[in-house]
């Protein structure tokens, strides 16, 4: 709902399309990784290896996506979140292109790429929903001295 209302209502459809494209690329990487893991001739990497790769990738992507403003001068910011998403796509393409003999590496690269994309998207969307320093100041309580709520820049 916040995508299509408020100060950035003209950018809501662009945010939605970017989120849809990023999520679908992450899902494609995960589907390819799980299809590779299901094959009989491959010993599936254990859950610990996937968690050791996936969790830091998600955290890295989320911190990067949340780390800078989404909107700059009324337009979408093309900064670290975009470059992180491009890096994740390159890692995912490398995971697809790795030799078929190194399937475990392929699976780990694809899981890492999907994790970075998912985290980057989550941080970016969380940042776009946060109040901007340019939004109206809200005072609490109205009778006391006006003190603005903490805001993200």
141 preceded by cis ω (within 30°)? Answer: yes
The pLDDT mean for the chain works out to 78
Tens digit of each residue's pLDDT (9 = 90 or more) over 24-34? 999 999 999 88
Q: Which domain holds residue 26?
A: 2-129
143-152 contacts: CB < 8 A, separation 24 or more?
152/69, 152/127
Q: Residue 146 domain-assigned?
A: no
Q: Residue 143 domain-assigned?
A: no
Domains identified in the chain, total number: 1
Q: pTM for this one?
A: 0.76
Query: Which residues does residue 71 pair with via DSSP β-bridges, in sequence order?
Result: 76
- Regarding predicted confidence, which is higher, 25 or 132? 25
Q: Residue 148 domain-assigned?
A: no
Whether the CB-CB separation of 34 and 111 falls below 8 Å is answered with no
pLDDT of residue 119: 93
Confidence class for position 11, pLDDT limits 50, 70, 90 = confident
Q: Residue 65 domain-assigned?
A: yes
- Which of 5-9, 32-36, 39-43, 143-147 holds the top average pLDDT? 32-36
Q: Residue 32 domain-assigned?
A: yes
């Amino acid at each position: 709902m916040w995508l299509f209302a408020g100060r950035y209502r003209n950018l809501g459809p662009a945010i939605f399309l970017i989120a849809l494209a990023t999520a679908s690329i992450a899902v494609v990487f995960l589907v390819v990784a799980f299809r590779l893991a299901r094959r009989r001739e491959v010993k599936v990497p254990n859950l610990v290896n996937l968690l050791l790769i996936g969790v830091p990738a998600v955290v890295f992507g989320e911190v990067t996506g949340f780390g800078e403003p989404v909107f700059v001068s009324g337009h979408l910011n093309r900064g670290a979140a975009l470059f992180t998403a491009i890096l994740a796509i390159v890692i995912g393409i490398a995971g697809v292109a790795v030799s078929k003999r190194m399937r475990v590496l392929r699976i780990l690269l694809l899981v890492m790429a999907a994790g970075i994309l998912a985290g980057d998207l989550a941080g970016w969307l969380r940042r776009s929903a946060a109040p901007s320093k340019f939004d109206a100041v809200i005072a609490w309580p109205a009778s006391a001295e006006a003190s603005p709520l903490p805001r993200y820049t």
